[in-house]
Amino acid sequence: MEVAGRKVAIVGMGGAFPACKDITMFEQNLFAGESLIRTWEETKAFGKNIRSNVSGYISEQEMDLEAIYSTLIEGYPETYIDHLGRIPDANLATADVGSIWAMLGSQDAIKMAGWNTAEVHSAQTGVVMGSGSAGNTVLRTAWNSFYEKGQKTRLAGSHAVDRSMVYREAANVSCLIKNRGVCEAIGSACATGLGNIGYAYRLIKYGIQDRILAGGIEATSLESFIGFDAMQVLSKGFSPAESSRPFDVDRNGFVCSFGCGIIALEEYEMAKARGAKILAVIDNYFNNSDGDGNMFFPSFAGQKRLWEGLLAGHVIKPEVVKVHGTSTPAGDAIELLSVVDVMGESGYHISAPKSQLGHMLGAAGAVELITAVLMLEQQKVLPCLNSNNFNQELEPFQNTPDWDGPMNPINHYKHLISSQTVEKEINQIVCLNYGFGGTNSAMSISKHD
């Protein structure tokens, strides 16, 4: 049950972002309208076995990290060196590269939040973060050495488990910062990032914690890329910068990307009392399931119920709706129609950050929440790149007997989506993210004042 009077503030942010050395560079590139998607040369080594070759990936060098490879198992990163000395060696030894991103992002978020040592170590400070997949780089070589090469288990080292377990990022962050509150990870596919932050919001709202580091991570991984490539759902046939094209009639799949977004949350009155810079206030969070038994196809009814839950008992009239917007043929269309079904045809803009970032899977919701906070601060709507031509005919599902949504083609709503940065007054933003299995998440954030 919610505790009366408790609100939740966003007081810090950090993470790892493609082709960007820090969150400042990330912000600059976003509002300059740049794409962070590049050709991933590593995929080309597999020739025609991989259909897509573009990604918003992050290299170890870009994060000032260096993998130390085993002399006994080829290609196995036993540990990492942090060339900037940000993470102690003992913590690096238990971490895969995504966990290192989470630790670095948490350090940045704590610094921005201004939490002191006592606050960080407190039993009222928690860690809630997760990813959409396993520690693939560690597992790949560890299991291959045992199953395929017949090598002894000990050659994989003593940290294969803690570097690949489900909640490895949360565990590594907790061990680094030495908090005494909760340490948990929620996995909900591509809704993981926003889902972890939403759960953290509830822990504070319900009086269980006062401060939480929350977010989502997806480490650069060929395994994840290959899996989606095998489903034939990745974009192909365009230049890297043109590959992610939400709502465009020529979209043919999403760009598989990687990253990390960490948010520092704090009970509002506590943050205000200590003079913290409050970046945004969370109005409400709601999540649900489609309930139609379909693992992959989006549900208009499920998304409509998601909006109903978010709006219930709250005044939510956003100037911007940050959509999931993956560039998949059915997903984009159903999402856009579900938004206009609730919001109408005017008075707001739609932003799809994946047009610049690609789809960061488990990190998507967290990194995109960061983009929403930045839009509040900048009072600018991020551009939706490559959204040039919209379908002028009804979508196939709009012609089915059970369709009860808007009966206009996607082109009718083109005015809501700008391919250029838009300056406007922004007081409130709604963020949407969805995942396989029919899981849906929605969060509304507002300016501090």
- 190 is known as an active-site residue: yes
Amino acid sitting at position 40: W
**Which residue of the set 190, 256, 260, 431 is catalytic?**
190
DSSP 203-245: HHHTTS-SEEEEEEEE---HHHHHHHHHTT-B--SS-GGGS--
> Residue 140 and residue 46: Cα distance in Å, rounded?
16
Residue 181 structure tokens = 């509150």
> Residue 147 and residue 153: Cα distance in Å, rounded?
10
3 state DSSP class of 273: helix
> Residue 322 and residue 381: Cα distance in Å, rounded?
9
3 state DSSP class of 41: helix
Q: Which secondary-structure segment (H or E) carries 39?
A: strand 38-39
- 324 is known as an active-site residue: yes
> Residue 100 and residue 72: Cα distance in Å, rounded?
24
> Residue 140 and residue 415: Cα distance in Å, rounded?
46
Listed in sequence order, the DSSP H helices in 122-191 are 136-147, 168-177
* Helix pair 222-230, 136-147: axis angle to 10 deg: 90
In which residue are the tokens 């606050």 written?
119
> Residue 54 and residue 416: Cα distance in Å, rounded?
28
In which residue are the tokens 């549900």 written?
299
Residue 83 structure tokens = 């060339």
Contact predicate 430/318, CB 8 Å: yes
**Which residue of the set 20, 175, 256, 324 is catalytic?**
324
In which residue are the tokens 């409509």 written?
304
**Which residue of the set 349, 359, 384, 431 is catalytic?**
359
Active-site residue list: 190, 324, 359
